[in-house]
């Protein structure tokens, strides 16, 4: 409603996804009534598409829910601070969750021990997941629509990738750029402390690698990325 009233959006359409826990979908009646009053369309029940790896293995990945949704460059100073503090506070929990998920779903032991070896082993496994996703969703060049599960995994891995840098190099630390407003990484949780004040945003770099891996697998791509940034320490 805020975005519509502010002129940033013409309309809004809510979709309700089936819960992988309860199997139920849809809004409560009070919420439906409220959305109707606000002239916001609802999409009813949308089936949640579970991912599978290997035989009879369903994936239910609980991705991180941020305290609010707003483009980084539109955040106020207080919002950027709040978001960054929340992001940093979630890193241990998200890495632990990713480790537990791998122990239950990966077809080999992958220990997230903040080593280069762990980065390569994870990326090798994750690329296979991407290939499966691509084969399932690509049709004659149609853009890929990655599942929430796969996106959630890559988001948490970006945290792990960044934390691996921080734990292995004392000069590197988490932070975010507050200015200038033209900075592409404005307010974006990033790695700072590199030479020439370079900013490395793991979330963005991992997203780029995901796109490249969809075209061509390279389990060492993650190591190349890590080594490239090590040269700037």
Q: Kindly calculate the radius of gyration of the chain based on its CA atoms and give it in whole angstroms.
A: 20
**Structural domain count of the chain:** 2
Q: What angle do CA 209, 213, 218 make, to 5 degrees?
A: 100
User: Using CA atoms, how far apart are residues 163 and 219, in angstroms rounded to an integer?
Assistant: 20
pLDDT, tens only, 134-163: 655 544 444 455 777 888 999 999 999 999
Domain that holds residue 126: 53-230
Average of per-residue pLDDT across 38-48: 51
Locate 78 and state its tokens.
């207080």
Question: Lowest-pLDDT range, 12-21, 25-34, 116-125?
Answer: 12-21
My answer on whether 78 and 135 are in the same domain is yes
Share of the chain above pLDDT 90, in %: 54
My answer on whether 126 and 174 are in the same domain is yes
My answer on whether 135 and 30 are in the same domain is no
Average of per-residue pLDDT across 81-105: 96
Helix (H), strand (E) at residue 17: strand 13-17
The more confident residue out of 67 and 27 is: 67
pTM score, whole prediction: 0.74
Q: Which of 70, 47, 66, 46 is nearest to 155 (CA)?
A: 66
pLDDT of residue 35: 72
Helix (H), strand (E) at residue 189: none
My answer on whether 65 and 86 are in the same domain is yes
**19, 31, 60, 66 from 15: Cα distances, Å:** 12, 13, 19, 19
């Amino acid at each position: 409603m805020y975005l519509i009233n502010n002129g940033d959006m013409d309309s809004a359409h809510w979709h309700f996804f089936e819960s992988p826990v309860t199997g139920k979908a849809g809004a409560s009646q009070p919420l439906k009534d409220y959305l109707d009053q606000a002239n916001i369309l609802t999409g009813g029940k949308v089936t949640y598409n579970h991912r599978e790896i290997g035989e009879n293995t369903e994936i239910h990945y609980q991705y991180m829910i941020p305290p609010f949704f707003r483009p980084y460059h539109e955040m106020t100073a207080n919002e950027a601070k709040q978001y960054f503090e929340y992001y940093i506070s979630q890193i241990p929990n998200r890495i632990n969750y990713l480790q537990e998920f791998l122990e239950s779903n990966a077809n080999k032991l992958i220990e997230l021990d903040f080593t280069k070896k762990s980065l390569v082993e994870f990326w090798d496994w994750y690329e296979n997941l991407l290939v499966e996703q691509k084969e399932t969703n690509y049709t004659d060049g149609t853009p890929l629509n990655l599942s929430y599960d796969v996106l959630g995994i890559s988001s948490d891995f970006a945290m792990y990738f960044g934390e691996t840098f921080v734990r292995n190099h004392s000069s590197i630390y988490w932070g975010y750029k507050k200015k200038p407003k033209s900075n592409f990484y404005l307010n974006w949780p990033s790695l700072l402390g590199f030479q020439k004040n370079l900013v490395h945003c793991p979330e963005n770099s991992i997203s780029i690698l995901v796109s490249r891996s969809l075209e061509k697998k390279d389990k060492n791509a993650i190591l190349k990325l890590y080594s490239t940034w090590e040269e700037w320490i």
